[in-house]
Homo-oligomer: A and B are copies of this chain.
Amino acid sequence: MKNRTRSSSPKSRVAQSAALPGAERLSARERLLAAAQELFYEEGINTVGIDRVIERAGVAKASLYDCFGSKEELIRSYLAARQETREARMRAELAKFKSPRERLLGVFDVMAKLLAESNYRGCAFVRASAEIRTGSSVKTVCDEARAWLHSLFTGLAKEVGVAQPTRLAKQLVLLYDGASVSAQMDQNRGAAAAARAMAEVILEAAMAATVMTQGK
């Protein structure tokens, strides 16, 4: 006579590493991560308690601590998963562009799609950094995300053949961060387009400087 909110057809279980194409029930771990994505990102990692996460996931509290061991580890897993999907999406979308120049500017086109989503709340790693207390192990995941962002732009800057690729990369990261903050704080939906336009100008200046230093 218990009123269960869970799906009423738990015919089979999905092993952690298995990935069956059928619409089978997700494992507790996967449901927890999905719930964490929504709640932690949209409301903050400190304001959302464990109880709300397990309620959203439809999972017992004991299962959470079996899977992750602590809230902090759940947060780290949430951020790590977010970074993985970010990398995969960027890789897939950038592959569509042909020229190095289009690929570099394409990062801001991808960003424009993200900002257009109604639940955009700014960069998850910047937000998390603002919430953690000093010495938290969560910072490591944030640092890795930042390193990836820099390496992404550095690689693209080298492809376009600019004289100082790390310098250009730092500038593009700055534009990327600025767009995310403007979108978050000012509901400025055109922030990515503005950043793209600026990136074009900056890139042109960097290319011009490259020709100068080459002497021809």
Binds B, one of A8-16, A24-32, A91-99, A171-179: A171-179
Contacts of A191 in B (CB 8 A): 174
Instruction: Report the Cα distance A127→B150, complex, angstroms.
Output: 22
State A185–B124 Cα separation when bound (angstroms): 12
Interface 9-mer from A55-63, A68-76, A194-202: A194-202
**Smallest beta-carbon distance A204→chain B, Å:** 9
- Give the residues in chain B near A43, CB-CB below 8 Å: 133-134
8 A Cβ contacts from A176-190 to B: 176-182, 184-186, 188
* Chain A binding surface, main DSSP class: helix
- For A180, the chain B residues whose CB sits under 8 A away are 181
**Given known A44-B130, A130-B44, A201-B202, contact A182–B186 (CB-CB < 8 A):** no
Q: In the bound complex, do residue B182 and residue A194 qualify as a contact, i.e. CB atoms below 8 Å apart?
A: no
Determine how close the nearest CB of chain B comes to the CB of A41; give it in whole angstroms: 11
